[in-house]
C-alpha cells in the first residue's frame, strides 16, 4: 500500500511540478544570458552589480562558448530563448542568417572592450622577445620552404633557436587551448596569421587561393610541440610553474592575476600591458561583444537597465570595475558611439 | 608420474605412495609462499588506494581550509548624503544605487591621509573588497537614519589582503612580481597594530550565493540547488524504480519480453551520463518547454540516470528474500499482492534503500548531463523553488576552478570539502539503515 500511495503521490507531485513549470515559463522575470567563456568573467561582474543595486533579479549567465551562445540566441523569440549572447568575436554572417530565419531580425550589437592574449613562461626563466613571424614559424603546421621556392614544407623546427638564432636553444613546447576555445581561434587569427602575412607571397595567396591561405595560416602543428592543455587557463598557468621550459597561451586577465608565477613574452617588442592592448600596439588582442534581442527589451524586465549598467562609465570606463577585472576598455570615442547605439537600441548592420 | 598407472607389487605401491607424500610435502612450502604473496599483494593494493585517498583529502584540506576564515577591517565611514549622492528623503531604489564605494574610499583616504598619488590611491582602494559596499548598502537600507552620521563598520578585505593575512603571499619575491605591493603591506601592518584587522570564521561562505569576488562568494546557492535537484530525483526515481523492480521480480512472467527489458535496464545503467543530458534537452526543454537551468529538469534528467541503478539493486534485494517467507504467507491465504506488500517489500527495504542512496550519491556528483540543460551557469540568487534557475555543487566547483582570481583556488577546495562531507553523510545514512533493518537468514 505504502508503495502504491507513494507512486500516486509522485505522479501528482510530478504533474503539479509540470504545471507550475509551465506557468513559470510563460513569464520570466530574470534576464537569461549565454555565450563566450571569455566574456563570462566580465558579464558576471556586471550582472552581480546589477542585481545588487537594482530591484531586479540577478541575470543568469551560462558559459556556452561564443558559437554555442549564438545557436541558443538565434533559436527564436520568446521567454524560453536567451535574451543576450556574449561573444569573443563578431557575429558571423551565417549566424546572422540563422537568427533571421528564426525571426530574430532586430539585434543590437554592443562592442564592450578588448582582451589581450599573452604568450608567457614561468618567472624563473628569461623573458622572451619574439616576433609574430617567429611564432608562426615555430607553431604552424606548414611553413614556407626556406630555399625561397614559394612552396611549403612540414614544420621541421625543434628548438626556438632553429626558428631564430636570437632565441634560446630550448625545445619548442607551447601549452594552449583546444580548437573549441575562442582564445585559440583568436590566437590563430591574430598571431599565426599575423606572422603568416609577414611573407608577402603568402599574403598574396589570401586573394588568389583563400582556402590554401587559411589552411597554412590557421593550422597549428600536431607533432607534440603545441600541447592542447584544456579550456582552463588556470591549469595552463599551473603547468607553466611546474614546467618552466614551456610557454603558455592564455587571456590577459589570467596574466594580470598571476604576475607572481608567469611573465609575458614581448611580441614584436611590445609587452602586453593594459596600455599597450588599449592603444592597439600589442598585436594579439581581440574585441569582445554582446548581442541583445531587441524584441525582448521591455518584455523581460531589466534588460534596458542591464545595458545601462554595462555601458556606464563606472563599469566599462577606463577606471571602471571591468578594467579592474582585466578587460581592456574601448577608447573614449568608441565608448560614446556604442553607448549612443545602445541607448537608442539601434539595430546592427545586416551581415552578409 | 607413475602413481596414476596401475602398478604390480606392494613395494612398488608403497614407494609410489611415499613419492606422492614427498611431492606433496615439497609443494606445501611453495603453496604457503604463494598464499603469503597473494595476501601481500592484496594488502599492498589496499594500502595504495588508502594512501591515494589520504593524499587527495590532505591536499584538498590544506588548500581549502583557509577559505573558512575571512579577514575584516574596521573602518570609520562617514555616511554624508553628498558622498553617497542622495537627496534629502531618498527612496529605496536611490538607496540601492547610492555611491557606497565612494564613502568607503573616502574613509580609507582619511585613515591614510598621506596617500596622494593616483596609483597609490588605487592600491589603497583594493584593500577593501568590492563586496564591502553591498554590506554597507544593506546596513544603510535597514537603518536609513544613519545617513549623515559616522559609522564604525567591519568590512571584508580584498582578495589580495586576504591571501596576505593567510600567509599565501610570498613576501620574499621582488615587488614587481607580486600582486600585493610593499605599500599595501605597510598599510595592513599599521592597521594590524591598531587592532583594526581581525580574522573571523567565514560565514559568508555558507550564507551567500555565487559571486565574482572570491571573498563574497558562497556555496549556499549551489547547496540549495543540489538539495532541490536531489529531492526531485528521489521523488521521481524511488517509487518508479521500486514499482518496476517489484513487477519484474514478483509478477512478470519469464519470457522473451522480460528478458529483453532486463538486458536493456542493465545496458541503461552503463550509458554515459551526457547522453541523458542530451535526451533531457531534446525532451524536457525543447519538447515540453520546461525552463532551462531549473532543478526540476536537472532532477528529471538525473532520475533517468539513477533509475537503472535503483531497479537493479532493488531486484537483488527482492531476490534475497527467502522463498519460504512467500510460501508461508501464500499458505496462510494471503494474496500475491499482500505477500509482496506486507512481507517481501519490508524485508527487502534495507537493500532497496542502500541502492537508492548509492544511486543518489552518483547523481550528486554529476555535471555532464547538467551542462546540456543549462545548469552550468552563474547564478547569484539562492533558489527557493524547483523552477528557479539553480546550479549544483560539482558545477560550482567546476566554475570556480575556471576563474582567474586567486581567492577562488581555496574556495574551489573548500567547495570540494563540502561536497565530500555531503557524500559521506549520505553514505553514513545508507550504512545506518542497513545495520538497523538488515536481517540475515
SS (H, E, C) chain A: CHHHHHHHHHHHHHHHHHHHHHHHHHCCCCCEEEECCCCHHHHHHHHHHHHHHCCCCCCEEECCCHHHHHHHHCCCCCCCCCCEEEECCCCCHHHHHHHHHCCCCCEEEEEEEEEEEEEEEECCCCCCEECHHHHHHHHECEEECCCCCCCEEECCCCEHHHHCCCCCCCECCEEECCCCCHHHHHHHHHHHHHHHCCCHHHHHHHHHCHHHHHHHHHCECCCCCEEECCCCHHHHHHHHHHCCCCEEEEEHHHHHHCCCCEEECEECCECCCHHHHHCCCCCCEEEEEEEEEHHHECCECCHHHHHHHHCCHHHHCCCCHHHHCCCECCCHHHHHHHHHHHHCCCCCCCCC
The C-alpha atoms of residue A42 and residue A274 are separated, in whole angstroms, by 16
Assigned domain for A16 exists: no
Nearest-CA neighbor of B325 among B308, B346, B306, B310? B346
pTM, to two decimals:
0.81
The C-alpha atoms of residue A122 and residue A231 are separated, in whole angstroms, by 19
- Comparing CB atoms, the residue among B288, B290, B374 nearest residue A62 is B374
Assigned domain for A7 exists: no
Closest-CA residue of A relative to B380 is: A58
Interface A-B: count of C-beta contacts within 8 A: 135
Asked if B404 lies within 8 A of A253 by C-beta distance, the reply is: yes
Query: Between B220-246 and A2-26, two packed helices, what is the crossing angle to 10 degrees?
Result: 140
Mean pLDDT of A198-205: 84
Closest-CA residue of B relative to A20 is: B387
The C-alpha atoms of residue B55 and residue B419 are separated, in whole angstroms, by 17
Report chain B residues whose CB lies below 8 A from the CB of A60: 293, 377-379, 389
Residues A277 and A294 in one domain: no
Asked if A21 lies within 8 A of B236 by C-beta distance, the reply is: no
Assigned domain for A161 exists: yes
- Residue where a domain terminates, one of A285, A310, A332: A285
Question: Total domain count for chain A?
Answer: 2
Task: Write out pLDDT tens, residues A77-133.
Answer: 988 899 999 998 889 899 999 999 999 999 999 999 998 899 999 988 888 899 999
Region of poorest pLDDT, from A134-138, A188-192, B55-59, B178-182 = B178-182
Q: Which residue in A25, A54, A64 has the most chain B C-beta atoms within 10 A of its own C-beta, making it the best mutation to test that interface? A: A25
Q: Report the relative pairing of strands A285-293 and A174-176 from DSSP bridges.
A: unpaired
Contact B403, B326 (CB under 8 A): no
- Comparing CB atoms, the residue among B178, B235, B291 nearest residue A260 is B178
Angular region, B379: left φ>0, alpha ψ -120 to 50, beta rest:
beta
The C-alpha atoms of residue B161 and residue B168 are separated, in whole angstroms, by 10
Assigned domain for A18 exists: no
Assigned domain for A10 exists: no
Residues A273 and A237 in one domain: yes
Report chain B residues whose CB lies below 8 A from the CB of A322: none
- Residue where a domain terminates, one of A259, A285, A311: A285
- Residue where a domain terminates, one of A249, A264, A285: A285
Å from A13 to nearest chain B CA? 8
Asked if A20 lies within 8 A of B137 by C-beta distance, the reply is: no
Assigned domain for A248 exists: yes
Asked if A21 lies within 8 A of B290 by C-beta distance, the reply is: yes
Maximum CA pair distance of chain B?
Answer: 126
Asked if B240 lies within 8 A of A253 by C-beta distance, the reply is: no
Residues A128 and A267 in one domain: yes
Å from A50 to nearest chain B CA? 9
Asked if B290 lies within 8 A of A10 by C-beta distance, the reply is: no
Is pLDDT of A10 > 70? no
Assigned domain for A352 exists: no
Asked if B137 lies within 8 A of A326 by C-beta distance, the reply is: no
- Comparing CB atoms, the residue among A21, A37, A234 nearest residue B296 is A21
Asked if B93 lies within 8 A of A21 by C-beta distance, the reply is: no
Residues A262 and A125 in one domain: yes
Is pLDDT of A24 > 90? no
Written in H, E and C, the secondary structure of chain B is CHHHCCCCCHHHHHHHHHHHHHHHHHHHHHHHHHHHHHHHHHHHHHHHHHHHHHHHHHHHHHHHHHHHEEEEEEEEEECCHHHHCCCCCCCHHHHHHCCHHHHHHHHHHHHCCCCCCHHHHHHHHCCECCCHHHHHHHHHHHCHHHCCCEEEEEEEECHHHHHHHCCCCCCCCCHHHCCCCHHHHHHHHHHHHCCCEEEEECCHHHHCCCCCCHHHCCCHHHHHHHHHHHHHHHHHHHHHHHHHHHHHHHHCCCCHHHHHHHHHHHHHCCCCHHHHHHHHHHHHHHHCCCCCCCHHHHHHHHHHHHHHHHHHHHHHHHHCCCHHHHHHHHHCCCCHHHHHHHHHHHHHHHHHHHHHHHHHHHHHCCCHHHHHCCCCEECCCCCCCCCCCCCCHHHHHHHHCCCCCCHHHHHHHHHHHHHHHHHHHHHHHHHHHHHHHCCCC
Asked if B378 lies within 8 A of A17 by C-beta distance, the reply is: no
The domain in which residue A87 lies consists of 29-114+287-343
Closest-CA residue of A relative to B134 is: A52
Q: How confident is chain B (441 residues) per 10-residue block, as mean pLDDT? A: 52 73 85 94 97 94 90 89 80 84 88 84 87 87 85 89 85 78 88 89 91 91 95 95 94 91 91 91 89 92 94 94 93 94 91 91 91 90 92 93 86 94 90 80 61
Q: What pLDDT sits at residue A16?
A: 54
Asked if B404 lies within 8 A of A326 by C-beta distance, the reply is: yes
Assigned domain for A44 exists: yes
Question: Across chain A, what does the average pLDDT equal?
Answer: 86
- Comparing CB atoms, the residue among B341, B381, B409 nearest residue A58 is B381
Å from B26 to nearest chain A CA? 55
Residues A83 and A221 in one domain: no
Residues A144 and A280 in one domain: yes
Residues A123 and A108 in one domain: no
Asked if B239 lies within 8 A of A256 by C-beta distance, the reply is: no
Residues A226 and A265 in one domain: yes
Q: What pLDDT sits at residue B344?
A: 93
Report chain B residues whose CB lies below 8 A from the CB of A25: 289-291, 387
Residues A97 and A167 in one domain: no
pLDDT band for position A201 (cuts 50, 70, 90): confident
Contact B184, B160 (CB under 8 A): yes
Residues A107 and A129 in one domain: no
Å from A44 to nearest chain B CA? 7
Q: Which residue in B177, B239, B304 has the most chain A C-beta atoms within 10 A of its own C-beta, making it the best mutation to test that interface? A: B239
Residues A253 and A146 in one domain: yes
- Comparing CB atoms, the residue among A22, A44, A62 nearest residue B212 is A44
Q: What is the CATH number of the domain that holds A51?
A: 3.40.190.10
Closest-CA residue of A relative to B216 is: A48
Closest-CA residue of A relative to B232 is: A14
Residues A224 and A329 in one domain: no
Amino acid at each position: 500500500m505504502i508503495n502504491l500511495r507513494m507512486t500516486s503521490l509522485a505522479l501528482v507531485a510530478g504533474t503539479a511540478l509540470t504545471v507550475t513549470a509551465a506557468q513559470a515559463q510563460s513569464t520570466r522575470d530574470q534576464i537569461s544570458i549565454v555565450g563566450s567563456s571569455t566574456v563570462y568573467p566580465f558579464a558576471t561582474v556586471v550582472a552581480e552589480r546589477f542585481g545588487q543595486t537594482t530591484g531586479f533579479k540577478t541575470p543568469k549567465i551560462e558559459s556556452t562558448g561564443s558559437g554555442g551562445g549564438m545557436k541558443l540566441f538565434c533559436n527564436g523569440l520568446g521567454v524560453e530563448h536567451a535574451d543576450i549572447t556574449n561573444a569573443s568575436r563578431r557575429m558571423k554572417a551565417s549566424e546572422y542568417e540563422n537568427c533571421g530565419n528564426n525571426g530574430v531580425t532586430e539585434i543590437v550589437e554592443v562592442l564592450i572592450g578588448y582582451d589581450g592574449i599573452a604568450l608567457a613562461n614561468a618567472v624563473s626563466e628569461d623573458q622572451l622577445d619574439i616576433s609574430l613571424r617567429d611564432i608562426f614559424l615555430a607553431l604552424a603546421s606548414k611553413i614556407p620552404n626556406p630555399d625561397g621556392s614559394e612552396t611549403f614544407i612540414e614544420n621541421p623546427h625543434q628548438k626556438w633557436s632553429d626558428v631564430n638564432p636570437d632565441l634560446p636553444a630550448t625545445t619548442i613546447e607551447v601549452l594552449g587551448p583546444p580548437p573549441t576555445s575562442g582564445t585559440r581561434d583568436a590566437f590563430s587569427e591574430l598571431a599565426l596569421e599575423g606572422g603568416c602575412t609577414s611573407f608577402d607571397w603568402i599574403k598574396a595567396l589570401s586573394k588568389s587561393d583563400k582556402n590554401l591561405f587559411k589552411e597554412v595560416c590557421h593550422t597549428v602543428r600536431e607533432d607534440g610541440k603545441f600541447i592542447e592543455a584544456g579550456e582552463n587557463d588556470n591549469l595552463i598557468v599551473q603547468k607553466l610553474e611546474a614546467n618552466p621550459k614551456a610557454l603558455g597561451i592564455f587571456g590577459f586577465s589570467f596574466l594580470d592575476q598571476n604576475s607572481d608565477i608567469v611573465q609575458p613574452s614581448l611580441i614584436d617588442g611590445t609587452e602586453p600591458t593594459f596600455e599597450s592592448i588599449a592603444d592597439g600596439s600589442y598585436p594579439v588582442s581581440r574585441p569582445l561583444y554582446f548581442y541583445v534581442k531587441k524584441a525582448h527589451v521591455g518584455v523581460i524586465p531589466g534588460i534596458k537597465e542591464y545595458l545601462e549598467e554595462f555601458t556606464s562609465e563606472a563599469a566599462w570606463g577606463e577606471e571602471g570595475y571591468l578594467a579592474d577585472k582585466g578587460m581592456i576598455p574601448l577608447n573614449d570615442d568608441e565608448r560614446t558611439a556604442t553607448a549612443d547605439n545602445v541607448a537608442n537600441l539601434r539595430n546592427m548592420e545586416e551581415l552578409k | 608420474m607413475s602413481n596414476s598407472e596401475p602398478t604390480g607389487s606392494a613395494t612398488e605401491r608403497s614407494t609410489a605412495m611415499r613419492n606422492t607424500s614427498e611431492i606433496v610435502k615439497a609443494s606445501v612450502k611453495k603453496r604457503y609462499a604463494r598464499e603469503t604473496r597473494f595476501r601481500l599483494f592484496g594488502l599492498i593494493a589496499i594500502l595504495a588506494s588508502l594512501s591515494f585517498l589520504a593524499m587527495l583529502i590532505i591536499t584538498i584540506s590544506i588548500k581549502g581550509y583557509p577559505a573558512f576564515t575571512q579577514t575584516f577591517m574596521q573602518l570609520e565611514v562617514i555616511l554624508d548624503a553628498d558622498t553617497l549622492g542622495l537627496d534629502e528623503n531618498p527612496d529605496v531604489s536611490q538607496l540601492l544605487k547610492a555611491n557606497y564605494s565612494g564613502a568607503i574610499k573616502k574613509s580609507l583616504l582619511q585613515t591614510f591621509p598621506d596617500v596622494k598619488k593616483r596609483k597609490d590611491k588605487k592600491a589603497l582602494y583594493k584593500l577593501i573588497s568590492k563586496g564591502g559596499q553591498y554590506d554597507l548598502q544593506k546596513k544603510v537600507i535597514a537603518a536609513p537614519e544613519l545617513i549623515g552620521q559616522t559609522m564604525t563598520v567591519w568590512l571584508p578585505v580584498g582578495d589580495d589582503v586576504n591571501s596576505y593575512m593567510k600567509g599565501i603571499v610570498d613576501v620574499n619575491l621582488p615587488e614587481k612580481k607580486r600582486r600585493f605591493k610593499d605599500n599595501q603591506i605597510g598599510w595592513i601592518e599599521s592597521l594590524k597594530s591598531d587592532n583594526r584587522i581581525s580574522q573571523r570564521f567565514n560565514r559568508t561562505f555558507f550564507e551567500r550565493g555565487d559571486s565574482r569576488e572570491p571573498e563574497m562568494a558562497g556555496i549556499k546557492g549551489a547547496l540549495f540547488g543540489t538539495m532541490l535537484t536531489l529531492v526531485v530525483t528521489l521523488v521521481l526515481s524511488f517509487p518508479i524504480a521500486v514499482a518496476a523492480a517489484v513487477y519484474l521480480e514478483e509478477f512478470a512472467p519469464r519470457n522473451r519480453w522480460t528478458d529483453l527489458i532486463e538486458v536493456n535496464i542493465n545496458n541503461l545503467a552503463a550509458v554515459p551520463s551526457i547522453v541523458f543530458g542530451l535526451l533531457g534537452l531534446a525532451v524536457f526543454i525543447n519538447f515540453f518547454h520546461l525552463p532551462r537551468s531549473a532543478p526540476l529538469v536537472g532532477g528529471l534528467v538525473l532520475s533517468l540516470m539513477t533509475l537503472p541503478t535503483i531497479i537493479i539493486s532493488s531486484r537483488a534485494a527482492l531476490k534475497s528474500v527467502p522463498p519460504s517467507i512467500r510460501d508461508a504467507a501464500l499458505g496462510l491465504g494471503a494474496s500475491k499482492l499482500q505477500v509482496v506488500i506486507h512481507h517481501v517489500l519490508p524485508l527487502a527495504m534495507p537493500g532497496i534503500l542502500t541502492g537508492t542512496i548509492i544511486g543518489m550519491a552518483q547523481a550528486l556528483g554529476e555535471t555532464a548531463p547538467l551542462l546540456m540543460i543549462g545548469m552550468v551557469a552563474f547564478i547569484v540568487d539562492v533558489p527557493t523553488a524547483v523552477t528557479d534557475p539553480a546550479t549544483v555543487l560539482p558545477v560550482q566547483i567546476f566554475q570556480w576552478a575556471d576563474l582567474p582570481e586567486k581567492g577562488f583556488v581555496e574556495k574551489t577546495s573548500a567547495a570540494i570539502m563540502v561536497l565530500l562531507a555531503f557524500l559521506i553523510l549520505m553514505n553514513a545514512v545508507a550504512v545506518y539503515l542497513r545495520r538497523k533493518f538488515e536481517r540475515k537468514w
